[in-house]
A and B are shown apart, each in its own frame.
Chain A
Amino acid sequence: GAVVSQHPSWVICKSGTSVKIECRSLDFQATTMFWYRQFPKQSLMLMATSNEGSKATYEQGVEKDKFLINHASLTLSTLTVTSAHPEDSSFYICSARDGFTEAFFGQGTRLTVV
């Protein structure tokens, strides 16, 4: 299957700082990428849909100014958690699709804000 690479795998940051997470589709062009968030022992919740060259579409309740998404190319989307606080600590996972086909997921990023 296709490969989606996410970096970093884990990050610890101080409260008030910003953290950037990268998601790359390595062997296909992803017209659409998705960002999910997962709390311990819970399911994945969609945060936003990222389309190459256009603004991201955020799910209801997701703060656009806190979670900045950029999809500058067909192989790269980034999620920046701005002014992070302990409640932003979570597991963030990206997904990529090449059109209307199977979705593939990155390895995930475990964010801890101290």
Chain B
Amino acid sequence: GIQVEQSPPDLILQEGANSTLRCNFSDSVNNLQWFHQNPWGQLINLFYIPSGTKQNGRLSATTVATERYSLLYISSSQTTDSGVYFCAVEGIQGAQKLVFGQGTRLTINP
């Protein structure tokens, strides 16, 4: 099945810094989503982005489907941005199943 790799596994930054999280995948995709998992375990939808670029406030994402990677940008980080960020993909043979990467644990210090 499709493989998903996220980097870096851990990232520690000071408040106000910018960050870039990466997601590499091993095959063509029908769907790619970015999530933020809050401390209570809830997955918050950030972007549905199988291709192209999207922006939502301080967050933006770009997926280059032909090169099989996606990037999540967080600008002017706040302590509330802390948590685990997951990339999940549905391969073209995936039968709608989302496969998750291992996540990036982001810690924003005040």
Q: Chain A residues near B98: list those with CB within 8 A.
A: 34, 46, 95, 103
- Please list the residues of chain A having a beta carbon within 8 angstroms of any beta carbon in chain B: 1, 32, 34, 36, 38, 42-46, 49, 91, 93, 95, 97, 100-105, 107-108, 110
Binds A, one of B20-28, B40-48, B67-75: B40-48
If over half of A's interface residues share one DSSP class (helix, strand or loop), that class is named, otherwise mixed; here it is strand
Q: Is the beta-carbon distance between A44 and B40 smaller than 8 angstroms?
A: no
List 21 A-B pairs, Cβ < 8 Å: A32-B96, A34-B97, A34-B98, A36-B100, A43-B103, A44-B88, A49-B95, A49-B96, A49-B97, A93-B41, A93-B43, A97-B96, A100-B31, A100-B96, A102-B45, A103-B98, A105-B42, A105-B43, A107-B40, A108-B40, A108-B43
Docked complex Cα distance between A44 and B45 (Å): 15
CB-CB nearest in chain B for A102? B48
Contact with A along B66-110 (1 / 0, CB 8 A): 000000000000000000001010000001111111110000000
Q: A46-B97, A103-B98 are in contact. Are A110 and B45 (CB under 8 A)?
A: no
The CB with the most chain A CB atoms within 10 A, among B40, B42, B43, B86, is that of: B43
| Neighbour of B41 across the interface among A32, A91, A101, CB < 8 A | A91
Other A-B contacts than A46-B98, A103-B88, A108-B42, 14 sampled, CB-CB below 8 A, are A36-B100, A43-B103, A44-B88, A44-B100, A95-B98, A102-B48, A103-B31, A103-B33, A103-B98, A105-B42, A107-B40, A108-B41, A108-B43, A110-B41
The CB with the most chain A CB atoms within 10 A, among B97, B100, B102, is that of: B97
Q: Chain B residues near A38: list those with CB within 8 A.
A: 41
Q: Chain A residues near B96: list those with CB within 8 A.
A: 32, 49, 97, 100
